Amino acid sequence: MSRPPNYEFQEWWNKQRSNDQTDDHISASTSEDVRFLTVDIHSPNSAAAVAAAAKDRSRSARQLSWIYLLKLNQIAHSLAFITNGFVSILRTANRRITTASVPRSESRFYKIIKFFLVLSVVLLVVELVAYFRGWHFSPPTLESEVEVSVKYIYAKWLEIRANYLAPMLQSLTNVCIVLFLIQSVDRFVLVIGCFYIKLRGLRPVAETDYYEQDAEKGGMNLDDYPMVLVQIPMCNEREVYQQSIAAVCIQDWPRERMLVQILDDSSDTDVQSLIKAEVVKWQQRGVHIIYRHRLVRTGYKAGNLKSAMNCDYVKNYEFVAIFDADFQPAPDFLKKTIPYFKGKDDLALVQTRWSFVNKDENLLTRLQNINLAFHFEVEQQVNGWFINFFGFNGTAGVWRIKALEDCGGWLDRTTVEDMDIAVRAHLCGWKFIYLNDVKCLCELPESYEAYIKQQHRWHSGPMQLFRLCFVDVLQSKVSFMKKANLIFLFFLLRKLILPFYSFTLFCIILPLTMFLPEAQLPFWVVSYIPGLVSILNILPSPRSFPFIVPYLLFENTMSVTKFNAMISGLFKLGSSYEWIVTKKLGRSSEADLVAIMENESAPLMENGVPRSSSESGLAELSKLEMNKKSFKKRRNRLYRKELGLSFILLTASVRSLLSAQGIHFYFLLFQGITFLVVGLDLIGEQVS
């Protein structure tokens, strides 16, 4: 029998709580917000209090209902967004697959990837059968099984795997881990050197400053300005020829002391006419600029530059500045670079930093910016300061013409003529300077197709050069340390070993260790070391830290292209000597466009007569712009090597799931998805 309620105690308790709430200021001010959390004990006589409590409870219930409805609405919107994005990706992938053209032949590299894919699928089927039959938990032995049974065959496979295959794979794994650690140490030392330069405030010092010098003398003294030749090699650069020519022609340098060479290798006659009209326009504005076109385009860019340097008037010039067609130097570029040559007769090259007008255009350009920021901020700066040598970047640099002639001039024996001439100049005793604070605007490739073609040339060329100049390095008169730096660091470690271990370790060895578990790849090699190296790489561009995971995965994906290019260049295979001009879109920064427009709108005088572009030249230009040829329709495409590797990695991730290997599973899963996204060309510019 239940105890009867004590109404007197309840009335006292309610009165006491009412007095406490009146005295307590904090409780009184927040009573409306937290009333639904309190429990009041009322007597049957306090009907008003009971009604108020019921009203509060109903209000709290309505508020909670609205909160839950709002949360459900947000979740529904998120799910709808994810679903729509996933469906859009599937439709895009289906369209790419159905419209993809079938190549005429398959490369050896792709055939090897197909072999590994078939092998991984077969091994996965075997492991699935063994898993569902319980053989993973109690492996069969040869002694206890009949020779013709499936269980005996699986036991035999386990014996072959453990005694023959796994030891070989483990040896290769250990070699790659050692190479990985050596390369990581090299990266760490470079970063330490960069921090040292930053903390000490070290930078090259020029002997003179043209701005201070002109201010003291009350104007330009032509004798203080050396003769400078400016070269712009280009080939079918319809989108960028105007901005590059204009940026060079408005240089703050005496016109009597500068000559601009437009070295046009275009095969398109319309583009040739457009560039000629642009040159005529600037000639009529008083700029010393000439147009050169080769009838026989041999040697690509190197042949173009070599032909231009053979002109008789070149002997009148002391320095040559080189800009690719998409580069837009600032008006003070020459005034910031030429002074470093004064008083340094052994200085051959002044290299400046690249800056990108489209680095935030898409995910692909953001990831490229991370790599190139590290290259210029760390590699070029550290090598330039401590050993006065680095690879010439092919553009945005000024050469002493005497140094070019001393080392044999431009050669077209490789696809990296810039690195070739830098190595030969270094072996002849010349020194280089890198200016990190002088930047030259340019474009990054926005499509994956253009990017991999550029990377193939950049990674096959160094191996061609290494094969050709190895003996020359050994026989040169430079010190032993310089020879060791060239052979072991410049070529082997950073040009050969890096793409080799990246592809072999993460695209071949890691999936195979899932099917050959007796050979193990430590988890710190998969997670910790790549993560630390990625952090080091991203330090020069701190705004890119949110992209550190995509950067790590994408770099492993690019190892396929780099490894293929490295092998091609080293052994002269396939298209190692193929030169394809990187596609540009003609993007310019707003500030540069304003500066160029202001310069063009300024009235230029010669003998008191205003000069302007000729009517015939403008008419020709307008006619050609209106009658441009229809270009070949661009479209996104499929990349079979990346797709094949994505299926290998995803197959291995399923096998790692059976073994409950967490870190390996997630790495293989996300890396396989990254390969799939890249293989479907879903990164970079999307052509509708």
Token pair recorded at residue 395: 């553009």
Residues 6 or more apart whose Cβ sits within 8 Å of residue 407: 421, 424, 425, 427, 428, 430
* Sign, Cα dihedral of 358, 362, 368, 373: positive
- DSSP class of residue 394 equals S
Counting every residue, how long is the chain? Answer: 688
Contact, 660 vs 610, CB < 8 A?
A: no
- DSSP class of residue 163 equals I
- DSSP symbols for 72-98: HHHHHHHHHHHHHHHHHHHHHHHHHHH
Q: Angle at CA 392, nearest 5°, toward 387 and 394?
A: 170
How many angstroms separate the CA atoms of 470 and 481, rounded? 15
How many angstroms separate the CA atoms of 113 and 128, rounded? 22
Contact, 382 vs 193, CB < 8 A?
A: yes
28: left (phi over 0), alpha (psi -120 to 50) or beta: alpha
Token pair recorded at residue 176: 């790659």
* Cα separations in angstroms, 233 against 19, 245, 266, 403, 523: 91, 11, 10, 20, 49
How many angstroms separate the CA atoms of 69 and 72, rounded? 5
Would residue 472 show up in a list of annotated catalytic residues for this protein?
Answer: no
Nearest to 463 by CA among 558, 391, 568, 322: 568
Contact, 660 vs 131, CB < 8 A?
A: no
Treating both helix axes as pointing N-terminal to C-terminal, what angle do 166-200 and 528-538 enclose, rounded to 10 degrees?
A: 30
Contact, 308 vs 263, CB < 8 A?
A: yes
Which of 265, 324, 592, 681 does the annotation list as catalytic? Answer: 265
Would residue 592 show up in a list of annotated catalytic residues for this protein?
Answer: no
Secondary structure class of 113 (helix, strand, coil): helix
Burial 140-165 (b: 16+ CB within 10 A, else e): beeeebeeeeebbebbeebeebeeeb
- DSSP class of residue 100 equals P
How many angstroms separate the CA atoms of 259 and 227, rounded? 8
Which of 324, 326, 412, 418 does the annotation list as catalytic? Answer: 418
Helix H, strand E, coil C: the string for 635-649 is: CCCCCHHHHHHHHHH
Treating both helix axes as pointing N-terminal to C-terminal, what angle do 363-374 and 548-571 enclose, rounded to 10 degrees?
A: 70
Other CB atoms within 10 Å distance of the CB of residue 338 = 21
How many angstroms separate the CA atoms of 43 and 45, rounded? 5
Q: Angle at CA 629, nearest 5°, toward 267 and 395?
A: 45
- Residues marked active site are found at 265, 418
